[in-house]
């Protein structure tokens, strides 16, 4: 007869909430957007010139709010400074503090170098408070020479080269943290850092397509067709890689058929049937794959191609968010005994509720709109008024 006092080692609640879902989602957008910028500055993909500045500023705006979900999740946010005051060489989270500060500084310097000629020109011609901002940002410079611009271009390329591995580490380490949790079979795989990194590139490219089409629509200009088609092609390839890695991970677990597979398979088909099967796989992956495959056809109508790419990009952003949700929250729904599932009540209010999460997602876009008014994102982008021949 079993002991009635015995209790299965199950967690009574899910400790990592929607804020820990947003955290890798926002950092993924940062890394993905920077990769697009690096394709132009390092690999000379001139077809991406219309979105090169937008990609760099987008990465900076999202990076500025990347740590906010973590701070809201902490009961004592002020303890975050301990990472810098008393760093630990064996702590991955402590390493993130160093990586994040380094990457944020790199983005600030690169954005300043890219826009330095425009800032100096605007400092001369703009008055009032905005002119004062330009004069402060110019750091006292009043002229741009060919020699100084050549040095700036060299530094921009050097920073972009350094920023590529930095972006990979910035987001890959998130997957490393989850992959290091050995007690959770949904997380503890060697592919987890690679999957997170691949999905980051996917989300960054998708965000840039959606933002570029939106800003062009708002400015009443036609998006550059070659640029949108190239971005769609990169997005399609990245989506194929990311989804293939995710499927490979599941197929490997199913082939091994370990003791935890019965619980994991039940989790995906029961508790996560909608968020995984419908949202992530069917809508976010299959539908996006087909729409992008159609959008990259060379003879397709330009306007139809643009809207197909924009719709597919939004679906991809939903897919990546669903992937983050299924990994972070779904992984915690598995009980430690692999018998049953843990409940996760999603609250509307509070520090870790849906309203706070929505505010965090909106803040980078507000910063981006402000930056678009302060900095000339669209100089020499080759766009034309809507309806022009």
Instruction: Please write down the long-range contacts of 59-62, taking CB distance under 8 Å and 24 or more positions apart.
Output: 59/29, 59/30, 59/31, 59/33, 59/34, 59/107, 59/204, 60/107, 60/108, 60/111, 60/371, 61/364, 61/365, 61/367, 61/368, 61/371, 62/26, 62/27, 62/29, 62/30, 62/33, 62/364
Q: What is the pLDDT of residue 7?
A: 45
CB atoms inside a 10 Å sphere around CB 234: 22
Instruction: Say which residue, 351 or 61, is predicted with more confidence.
Output: 61
Task: Tell me what the pLDDT averaged over the chain comes to.
Answer: 86
Split at pLDDT 50, 70, 90, the class of 383 is very low
All domains of the chain, ordered by start, with CATH? 18-375 (1.20.1630.10)
Answer whether residue 151 shows pLDDT above 70. Answer: yes
Whether pTM exceeds 0.85: yes
| CA distances to 101, 117, 157, 189, 228 from 139, in Å | 22, 12, 22, 48, 36
Contacts of 297 (CB under 8 A, 6+ apart): 305
Residue 242 clears pLDDT 80, i.e. is over it? yes
Neighbours of 9 (CB within 10 A): 8
Chain segment 5-55, per-residue pLDDT in tens: 444 555 567 778 899 899 999 999 998 999 999 999 999 899 999 999 999
What sign does the dihedral 292-293-298-300 (CA atoms) show?
A: negative
The DSSP annotation for 149-215 comes to HHHHHHHHHHHHHHHHHHHHHHHHHHHHHHHT-TT-TTT--TTHHHHHHHHHHHHHHHHHHHHHHHH
């Amino acid at each position: 007869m079993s002991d009635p006092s015995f209790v299965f080692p199950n967690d009574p609640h899910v400790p990592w909430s929607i804020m820990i879902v947003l955290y890798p989602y926002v950092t993924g957008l940062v890394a993905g957007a920077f990769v697009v910028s690096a394709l132009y500055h390092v690999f000379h993909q001139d077809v991406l010139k219309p979105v090169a500045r937008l990609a760099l500023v987008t990465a900076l705006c999202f990076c500025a709010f990347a740590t906010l979900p973590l701070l809201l999740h902490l009961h004592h946010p002020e303890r975050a400074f301990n990472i810098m005051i008393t760093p630990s060489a064996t702590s991955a989270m402590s390493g993130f503090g160093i990586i994040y500060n380094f990457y944020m500084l790199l983005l600030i310097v690169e954005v300043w170098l890219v826009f330095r000629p425009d800032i100096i020109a605007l400092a001369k011609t703009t008055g009032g408070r905005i002119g004062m901002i330009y004069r402060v940002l110019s750091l006292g410079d009043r002229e741009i020479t060919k020699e100084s611009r050549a040095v700036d271009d060299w530094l921009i390329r050097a920073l972009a080269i350094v920023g590529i591995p930095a972006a990979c580490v910035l987001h890959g380490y998130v997957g490393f943290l989850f992959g290091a949790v050995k007690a959770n079979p949904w997380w503890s795989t060697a592919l987890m850092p690679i999957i997170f990194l691949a999905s980051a590139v996917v989300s960054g490219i998708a965000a840039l397509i959606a933002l570029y089409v939106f800003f062009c629509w708002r400015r009443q200009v036609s998006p550059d067709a070659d640029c949108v088609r190239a971005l769609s092609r990169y997005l399609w390839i990245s989506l194929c890689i990311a989804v293939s890695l995710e499927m490979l991970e599941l197929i490997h677990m199913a082939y091994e058929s370990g003791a935890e597979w019965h619980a994991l398979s039940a989790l995906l088909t029961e508790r996560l049937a909608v968020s995984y099967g419908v949202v992530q796989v069917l809508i976010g992956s299959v539908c996006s794959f087909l729409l992008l495959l159609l959008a990259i056809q060379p003879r397709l109508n330009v306007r139809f191609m643009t809207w197909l790419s924009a719709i597919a990009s939004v679906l991809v952003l939903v897919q990546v968010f669903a992937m983050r949700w299924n990994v972070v929250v779904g992984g915690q729904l598995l009980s430690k005994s692999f018998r049953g599932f843990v409940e996760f009540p999603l609250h509307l209010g509070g520090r870790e509720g849906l309203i706070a999460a929505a505010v965090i997602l909106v803040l980078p876009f507000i910063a981006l709109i402000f930056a678009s008014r302060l900095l000339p994102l669209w100089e020499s982008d080759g766009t034309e008024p809507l309806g022009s021949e």
